[in-house]
Amino acid sequence: MKKDFRNRVSPQAVEMNLTSLCGMLEGMLADNKINSQEVAKLIEWFEMNKNLNGLHPFSEIQSSLNIFLADGLLSAEELKDLLWICRQHRKDGIAFDDITKSIQFLHGLVSGLGADGLINAKEIDVLKKWCLDHEYLKGCWPYDEFLALSIEVIQDGKITSHEHDIISYYFNEFMGLNGNKSLRIPLNEATVAITGVCAVCPEIEFDSKNFVLTGESSKLKRKDLIKLIEDCAGTVLSSVTQKVDYLIVCDDGSPAWTYRAYGRKVEDAINMRKKGHKITIVHESDLWDAFRDKDVA
């Protein structure tokens, strides 16, 4: 009799799902409140991942969840217990490198933050702090975007309806690339101006690096700005390709994350970043900081 291998789950899949689940639980706990939508999201996660049933440590996690839900409620303290179990077993993971594991965790975190369809300032602050603790992800989409967005939104401690639309858009863009449907938050179809595309305090290298410029500078004509980059041993290209290291957004002195639609080159760069190409999107003000570091401006 032949064995049926169709439902066999690889160690890599077990580790990936455990990391994502850990992130989702942390996201749900960001504001230390658990509501019925978040409980439904957690139950949905286990329903969508039935292939993990009976596997360690998911069997232990689900068993604990069932006990906690016996009274029809799930408290923050009970969710913390589930997270503790996840963390204990996540330490054993060896299948993926740190960057991959962090992106897997971020998928879960974003799903947890948006589980109830409402994202508040405390949750965005958690996202910002997580990004600041994982600076080695710079250049990996959507790290730069999430950090810039969270810093901009959290400045006044409030989230307007427009900002909420922008956050939802970003979260959906990120979750849409993840194959696990149970992690996705409801798609927001609203058309919004995109913000937070530029890296925060990027480290800019010039030697043998390729640059593309978009927009107009208030400081120099395009040809003079190109010459400065070339004087620093950088090369300026005319279009965004896989060879590009930096896209410089010249915005006439405005912050890079002002609420407005972005141009074609920025869109091209974002789409390439989604595919794994490390193109850093930089505001012109940061380019001038790099020039000053090299004593050329």
Q: What is the CATH number of the domain that holds 275?
A: 3.40.50.10190
Domain containing residue 47: 11-183
- Does 204 map to a domain? no
Clarify whether residues 256 and 163 are in a common domain. Answer: no
Q: What ranges in 91-136 are assigned the alpha helix state H? A: 98-113, 121-132
- 194 located within any domain: no
161: left (phi over 0), alpha (psi -120 to 50) or beta: alpha
Average pLDDT, integer, range 259-285: 81
Top mean pLDDT of 50-54, 80-84, 88-92, 198-202 is at: 80-84
Statement to judge: residues 264 and 151 lie in one domain: no
Q: Is the pLDDT of residue 194 over 90?
A: no
Tell me what percent of the residues of the chain surpass a pLDDT of 70.
87
Average pLDDT over residues 189-196: 54
- The count of structural domains within the chain is 2
pTM for the complete prediction?
0.81
Asked if 150 and 67 sit in the same domain, the reply is yes
Do 97 and 178 have their domain in common? yes
Q: Which long-range contacts (CB under 8 A, 24 or more apart) does 51-56 make?
A: 51/7, 51/9, 52/9, 52/14, 52/17, 55/9, 55/14, 56/89
Q: What is the mean pLDDT of the chain?
A: 85
CA angle 104, 123, 44 (to 5 degrees): 55
Please report, rounded to a whole number, the percentage of residues in the chain having pLDDT higher than 90: 51
User: Do 165 and 219 belong together in one domain?
Assistant: no
- Same domain for 37 and 141, yes or no, is yes
237, 125: one domain: no
Q: Is the pLDDT of residue 165 over 90?
A: no
> Smallest Cα–Cα separation from 154: which of 182, 196, 199?
196
